[in-house]
Amino acid sequence: MRTILFYHIIFLVLIFKAQNNFRIYSANGELFKLDVNNVLVNNSLQASVLVKNLTVDTLNVNIEFENKVKAESKIYLLEKSKTVANKEFIYKVENIKNKLEISFVNVLEIQKLIEPIVPLKPLIDTSYKYNNNVLGHFCELKNSKPTYFNNTPKQGNCEVAMPPEYLNYVAILMLKTEVADDKFEVVENVFRNNCVSIVQTNSLLKYIDYEVEKLKLIKIAYFNIIDKANLKNLESSFKFESSKKGLQNYLSEVKNVKQLANINCTKAAEDIEIKSFTDKLTTLTSDNERYEIFKKLYTNYCYSSTQVKLLLQPFIHDREKFDAAKLLYYYCMDKPNYLLISDVFSYKQTEGDLKDFIEKQN
């Protein structure tokens, strides 16, 4: 009985004896086969071979490269001549003038992977609680993506600014953003869907780093600003004189929106006149030049929506096309068909901008 117990103890000692790994790789990426203690480890040629869970300290290693060059070596899995456990011993083999040399590289602690690698799903599904929230009548978060409520008047202009707590909701959304484009998208949606004061506008623009982007957002927000008498205060959001000048130019253009809205075009110009106008724009080399000439000449005619599409064709970029389209709207004799010009734009976003613009004029 004691003898059986003794052998059981020996068996358990052998099972739980210190285990180590042995890794060997080709320094030049050449393929080889590895034999350890007269056992072939890899049937197919490899550039790196790992042998796991070794319970012996001494290895008789035989290596044969693809070109049949061979090497034999005795390797000791010891650290400072002492037996160790849970270590990975790394060696390399080099083919130097058809002579293989095996050398020690490093010894590392074996790191076990966390189990399970993918955490188990909690018994109580809390995803709805944490991913779906309603922030007042400002927006609803679905899986961290905001869906905005439209709080602008169905009829008439904006007269009352959005509630102050909406700025707090914006701060919550900004904590979830990681890149500048996402911040721009949040502020853009606030301006499109809410009435704002100049003070609120300047607060929202602080989230935007680039002044050219701030100017784009002001153009979106303009029709929803309640206190247009204070528009000059928007300059405080800009540092550079060029940006302030760009703001002044835009505000000068939109000053006459009401006058433009009263223009009564009932008959379109002759097609040959619009073609001549279009040809002048086509000969120019850049959209900036085209737009400058366009602004000097476009008030000389009334247009059909078909002629508007023709006149916008020479412009390359959506930015200038959209700016020109907004000005031409007031000189179009068939405004109910104006949305049909949308296919001149390259991006769906610009089509949406035109739709918003038209809705605000009606």
The residue ranges of every structural domain in the chain are: 15-109, 133-255, 261-361
The label of the residue with tokens 């206190």 reads: 227
The crossing angle, in degrees rounded to 10, of helices 305-312 and 271-282 is: 20
Q: Which residues pair with 134 in a beta bridge?
A: 140
* Residue 239, SS3 per DSSP: coil
The strand order across the sheet containing 20-26 reads 48-54, 20-26, 87-96, 99-109
Say how far apart CA 230 and CA 225 lie, in whole Å. Answer: 10
Q: Are 186 and 170 in contact (CB under 8 A)?
A: yes
% helix / strand / coil in the chain, to the nearest 5? 45, 20, 35
CATH architecture of 15-109: Sandwich (2.60)
Q: Are 161 and 221 in contact (CB under 8 A)?
A: no
Structure token pair of residue 61: 């290693």
In a structure prediction context, what are the per-residue pLDDT tens digits for the chain, which is 362 residues long?
555 555 455 444 444 456 899 999 998 888 999 999 999 999 889 999 999 989 898 999 999 998 888 889 999 999 888 889 899 999 999 988 888 889 999 998 887 766 666 666 666 555 555 556 788 899 888 777 888 888 888 776 789 999 999 999 999 899 888 888 899 999 998 998 899 999 999 999 999 999 999 999 998 898 889 999 999 999 999 999 999 999 998 888 776 554 554 457 888 999 999 999 999 999 999 999 999 999 888 888 899 999 999 999 999 999 999 989 988 988 899 999 999 999 999 999 999 989 988 887 66
Say what the pTM is. Answer: 0.42
Task: State how far the alpha carbon of 232 is from the alpha carbons of 152, 206, 211, 262, 271, in Å.
Answer: 23, 17, 16, 26, 42
How do 20-26 and 87-96 pair as beta strands? parallel
